[in-house]
C-alpha cells in the first residue's frame, strides 16, 4: 500500500513523461538493440510460420477433411494467452528462457491466420481458370505452382500482413522470458517506474507494426495487378 | 508435477485471483460494448463514420496490448482502475469495426423492401439491421472477449492482480508448478471464452441466415 502511495506521488510530482536526455544518452546502447531484436524476433517467426503454413494450407485446400481439425488445433493455440504460452513453453525440460520459446510461441500464433488465408486464397481461384489450365495440358503440380498459388498470393500476403502486425505486438511480452526486443524497454520502464522507457518501447513497437502493415499492404496491391487495372 | 499443480489450485488465494481475472475481463468487455455499440449505431449511415471506425480498428491492432497496459501505469497509476481503462481501450476496436461493418453490409434491397412495407427507421434497425448483423456483431464481441481475457493476464505487471500473478510468482520463485498452474488456468479460461462466445454467436444468428449459410457451404 505504501508502494502504491509512493508511486502515485511520483506520478503526480513528475509531470515530465519523456526524458529526452535519457533517450539521447541511451539511444545506441539500449534503444537500437531492442529495436533490432524486435525485428529479428518478428521476422524469423513469420518466416518459420510461413514454411509450415503454406504446405499445410495447400494440403487442407486439396483434402477438405484435413481442414476442420487443422483450424481447430491452430484455433486453440491462437486463443492461449501469450504470457501463458511462454510460461508453458519454458517449463518444458530442455527449453531455456531466451528467444527460442518466444519464437516457437509466435510461430504458433501465426499459423491459424496464415493457413486460413492460404486456403481462402486457393479457394478464390475460379474453377474455370483451373479447367482452362488442365485443358492446356498442365499437370496438377504445374496447376498448383503456376496457376493456383500465384492467383492466391495476394490473399496469402494479406494473411502475412495480419500475422506480422499481431506478432510485433505479442513479441513485446516475450521480453519477460528474456526473448529480447522492445518489451525490454517496457518492462524495465515498469520496474524502474520510468515512463520514458515505457513510452519509447510502446511508440517504437507501434511504429514498427504500422510500417510493416503499410509495406505489406503495398506488396498486396502490387501482387493484384488486375485490381489496379480495374481501379484506373 | 500434476499433483503439485493441483495443489496450487487449492491454495486459498487461487479463487481470489481467478475472480479478479474474470471481473476485470468482464467489466472491461461490458464497458467496451456499452461504448462501441452506440457509436456503431450512430455512424452506421455515414461514410465518414465507417472510415473512422476502420482507422480506429487498424490503429488499435497496431498498438501492442502490453504497451497500452504499461502506458496506463504512468498516466493513471497502479491497480485495478488503470488496468480496467487499458483493457477497455483494447476491447473497443474489434467490437466497433464488426458492428459498423456488419450494420453497413445489410443488403440495401432488404432495407428498401422494409421501407416499402412501411417500417420506420427504428423498426428497420431493430427488426432488420440488428438481427441480420447479429452474427458479425457477436463475432467482434467474441474476438474482443478472448483478447481481453488474454490481456488481463498482463494486468499483474501494473499491480491489478488476476491469474497473471501466479505466472509471475512462478517465474520469480522458480516454482514451475505455480507458473504452469497459472498458465493452464488462463489458457482454459481463454478457450472457454472462445467456445462460449462461439455458442452465443450461433444462438443469436437468425434462423433464416442459418439456412442461407448451410446452402452456401
CATH number for A207: 1.10.3720.10
pLDDT the model gives residue A138: 94
Q: Which residues of B touch A80 (CB under 8 A)?
A: 150, 186-187, 190-191
- Cβ neighbors of A24 (< 8 A, separation 6 or more) are none
Residue pair B74/A11 in contact by the 8 Å Cβ criterion: yes
pLDDT the model gives residue B175: 81
pTM tops 0.90, yes or no: no
Separation in Å, CA of B124 to nearest CA in chain A = 33
Q: For residue range A175-208, list pLDDT tens digits in order.
A: 998 888 999 999 998 888 888 889 999 999 999 9
Closest-CA residue of B relative to A172 is B66
- Per-residue pLDDT band at B198 (split at 50, 70, 90): confident
Could you give the count of Cα atoms lying within 13 Å of A98 in the half-sphere of its Cβ?
A: 4
Task: Judge whether residue A55 has pLDDT over 90.
Answer: yes
Task: Judge whether residue A58 has pLDDT over 90.
Answer: yes
Interface touch A209/B183, C-beta < 8 Å: no
Separation in Å, CA of B162 to nearest CA in chain A = 13
- Per-residue pLDDT band at A1 (split at 50, 70, 90): very low
Tell whether A13 is covered by a domain.
no
Interface touch B186/A83, C-beta < 8 Å: yes
pLDDT the model gives residue A183: 92
Closest-CA residue of A relative to B176 is A91
Tell whether A14 is covered by a domain.
no
Chain B touched by A172 (CB under 8 Å):
yes
Whole-number mean pLDDT of chain A?
87
Task: Judge whether residue B138 has pLDDT over 70.
Answer: yes
Nearest-angstrom CA–CA distance, B142 and B153: 17
For B95-161, the DSSP string reads: HHHHHHHHHHTS-HHHHHHHHHTT--HHHIIIIIIHHHHHHHHHHHHHHHHHHHHHHHGGGGGGT--
B64 closest CB neighbour out of A3, A88, A169: A169
Q: For residue range B112-133, list pLDDT tens digits in order.
A: 999 899 998 889 888 888 988 9
CA angle (B8 as vertex; B3, B9 as ends), nearest 5: 95
Pick the range with the lowest mean pLDDT from A25-39, A164-178, A198-212.
A25-39
Closest to B99 measured CA to CA, from B57, B148, B60, B152: B57
- Per-residue pLDDT band at A8 (split at 50, 70, 90): low
Interface touch A206/B187, C-beta < 8 Å: no
Q: How far is CA A70 from CA A75, A106, B131, B139, B205, in A?
A: 8, 17, 31, 20, 25
- How many separate domains does chain A show? 1
Q: For residue range B34-43, list pLDDT tens digits in order.
A: 999 999 998 8
For B175-213, the DSSP string reads: -HHHHHHHHHHHHHHHHHHHHHHHHHHHHTS-HHHHHHH
**What letters, b where the CB count within 10 A reaches 16 and e where it falls short, cover B69-96?**
bbbbbbebbbbbebbbbbbbbbbbbbbb
Q: What mean pLDDT do residues A52-72 have?
A: 93
Tell whether A10 is covered by a domain.
no
Closest-CA residue of A relative to B184 is A84
- Cβ neighbors of B156 (< 8 A, separation 6 or more) are B162, B164, B165, B167, B168
Tell whether A55 is covered by a domain.
yes
pLDDT the model gives residue B43: 85
Q: How far is CA B23 from CA A98, A99, B16, B80, B197, in A?
A: 33, 33, 10, 10, 17
Beta strands of chain A (E only): which ranges?
A: none
pLDDT the model gives residue A173: 93
From the DSSP assignment, how many helices (H) and strands (E) are in chain A? 12, 0
pLDDT the model gives residue A182: 93
B65 closest CB neighbour out of A85, A169, A187: A169
Q: Which three cell numbers stand for residue B39?
A: 457509436
Q: What mean pLDDT do residues A32-36 have?
A: 90
- Per-residue pLDDT band at A232 (split at 50, 70, 90): very low
Q: Which residues of A touch B183 (CB under 8 A)?
A: 83-85, 87-88, 91
**A203 or A232, which is more confident?**
A203
Task: Judge whether residue A69 has pLDDT over 60.
Answer: yes
Tell whether A19 is covered by a domain.
no
Residue pair B148/B28 in contact by the 8 Å Cβ criterion: yes
Task: Judge whether residue A229 has pLDDT over 70.
Answer: no
**What letters, b where the CB count within 10 A reaches 16 and e where it falls short, cover A129-168?**
ebeebeeeebeeeebbeebbbebbbbbbbbbbbbbbbbbb
Q: How far is CA A133 from CA A55, A136, A145, B4, B20, in A?
A: 21, 5, 12, 61, 59
Separation in Å, CA of A215 to nearest CA in chain B = 14
Q: What mean pLDDT do residues B174-182 have?
A: 86
Q: Which residues of A touch B184 (CB under 8 A)?
A: 84, 88
Domains and CATH numbers, chain B: 2-216 (1.10.3720.10)
Nearest-angstrom CA–CA distance, A177 and A100: 10
Q: Which three cell numbers stand for residue A37?
A: 531484436
DSSP A17: -
pLDDT the model gives residue B208: 76
Task: Judge whether residue B91 has pLDDT over 90.
Answer: yes
Task: Judge whether residue A9 has pLDDT over 70.
Answer: no
Nearest-angstrom CA–CA distance, B174 and A132: 62
B187 closest CB neighbour out of A17, A84, A165: A84
pLDDT the model gives residue B52: 83
Q: How far is CA A69 from CA A29, B35, B187, B213, in A?
A: 47, 36, 19, 20
Return the number of other C-beta atoms located less than 10 Å from residue A215's C-beta: 12
Q: Which residues of A touch B158 (CB under 8 A)?
A: 190
Q: For residue range A91-125, list pLDDT tens digits in order.
A: 888 877 888 999 999 999 999 999 999 999 999 99
Tell whether A232 is covered by a domain.
no
Spell out which chain B residues touch chain A, with contact meaning CB-CB distance below 8 angstroms. 58-59, 61-68, 70-71, 73-75, 77-79, 146, 149-151, 153-154, 157-159, 164, 167, 170-171, 176, 179-180, 182-184, 186-187, 190-191, 193-194
Q: Domain of A113?
A: 26-226
Chain B touched by A82 (CB under 8 Å):
yes
Q: Which residues of A touch B80 (CB under 8 A)?
A: none
**What letters, b where the CB count within 10 A reaches 16 and e where it falls short, cover A31-61?**
beebbebbeebbebbbeebbebbbebbbebb
Tell whether A12 is covered by a domain.
no
pLDDT the model gives residue A180: 87
Q: How far is CA A63 from CA A14, A59, A126, A147, A225, in A?
A: 61, 6, 18, 18, 30
Whole-number mean pLDDT of chain B?
88
Residue pair B58/A175 in contact by the 8 Å Cβ criterion: no
Q: Which residues of A touch B151 (CB under 8 A)?
A: 81
pLDDT the model gives residue B137: 92
* Test mutation, A87, A91, A178, chain B, max B CBs within 10 A: A87
Tell whether A168 is covered by a domain.
yes
Closest-CA residue of B relative to A174 is B66
Amino acid at each position: 500500500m505504501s508502494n502504491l502511495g509512493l508511486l502515485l506521488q511520483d506520478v503526480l510530482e513528475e509531470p515530465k513523461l519523456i526524458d529526452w536526455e535519457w533517450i539521447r544518452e541511451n539511444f545506441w546502447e539500449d534503444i537500437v538493440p531492442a529495436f533490432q531484436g524486435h525485428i529479428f524476433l518478428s521476422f524469423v517467426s513469420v518466416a518459420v510460420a510461413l514454411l509450415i503454413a503454406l504446405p499445410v494450407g495447400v494440403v487442407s485446400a486439396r483434402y477438405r477433411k484435413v481442414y476442420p481439425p487443422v483450424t481447430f488445433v491452430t484455433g486453440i493455440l491462437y486463443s492461449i494467452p501469450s504470457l501463458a504460452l511462454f510460461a508453458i513453453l519454458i517449463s518444458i525440460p530442455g527449453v531455456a528462457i531466451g528467444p527460442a520459446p518466444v519464437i516457437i510461441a509466435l510461430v504458433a500464433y501465426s499459423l491459424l491466420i496464415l493457413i486460413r488465408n492460404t486456403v481462402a486464397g486457393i479457394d478464390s481461384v475460379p474453377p474455370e481458370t483451373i479447367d482452362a489450365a488442365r485443358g492446356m495440358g498442365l499437370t496438377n503440380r504445374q496447376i498448383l505452382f503456376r496457376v493456383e498459388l500465384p492467383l492466391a498470393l495476394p490473399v496469402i500476403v494479406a494473411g502475412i500482413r495480419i500475422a506480422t502486425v499481431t506478432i510485433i505486438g505479442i513479441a513485446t511480452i516475450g521480453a519477460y522470458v528474456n526473448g529480447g526486443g522492445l518489451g525490454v524497454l517496457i518492462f524495465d520502464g515498469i520496474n524502474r517506474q520510468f515512463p520514458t522507457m515505457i513510452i519509447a518501447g510502446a511508440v517504437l513497437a507501434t511504429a514498427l507494426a504500422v510500417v510493416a502493415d503499410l509495406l505489406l499492404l503495398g506488396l498486396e496491391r502490387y501482387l493484384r495487378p488486375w485490381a489496379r487495372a480495374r481501379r484506373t | 508435477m500434476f499433483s503439485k499443480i493441483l495443489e496450487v489450485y487449492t491454495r486459498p488465494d487461487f479463487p481470489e485471483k481467478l475472480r479478479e481475472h474474470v471481473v476485470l475481463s468482464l467489466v472491461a468487455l461490458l464497458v467496451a460494448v456499452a461504448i462501441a455499440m452506440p457509436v456503431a449505431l450512430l455512424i452506421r449511415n455515414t461514410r465518414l463514420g465507417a472510415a473512422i471506425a476502420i482507422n480506429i480498428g487498424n490503429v488499435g491492432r497496431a498498438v501492442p496490448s502490453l504497451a497500452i497496459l504499461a502506458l496506463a501505469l504512468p498516466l493513471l497509476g497502479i491497480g485495478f482502475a488503470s488496468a480496467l481503462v487499458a483493457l477497455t481501450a483494447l476491447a473497443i476496436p474489434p467490437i466497433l469495426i464488426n458492428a459498423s461493418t456488419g450494420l453497413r453490409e445489410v443488403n440495401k434491397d432488404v432495407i428498401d423492401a422494409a421501407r416499402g412495407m412501411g417500417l420506420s427507421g427504428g423498426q428497420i434497425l431493430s427488426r432488420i439491421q440488428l438481427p441480420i448483423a447479429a452474427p458479425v456483431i457477436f463475432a467482434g464481441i467474441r474476438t474482443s472477449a478472448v483478447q481481453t481475457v488474454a490481456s488481463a493476464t498482463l494486468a499483474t505487471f501494473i499491480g491489478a492482480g488476476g491469474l497473471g500473478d501466479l505466472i509471475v510468482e512462478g517465474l520469480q520463485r522458480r516454482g514451475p508448478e505455480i507458473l504452469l498452474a497459472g498458465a493452464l488456468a488462463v489458457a482454459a479460461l481463454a478457450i472457454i471464452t472462445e467456445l462460449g462466445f462461439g455458442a452465443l454467436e450461433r444462438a443469436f444468428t437468425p434462423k433464416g441466415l442459418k439456412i442461407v449459410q448451410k446452402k452456401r457451404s
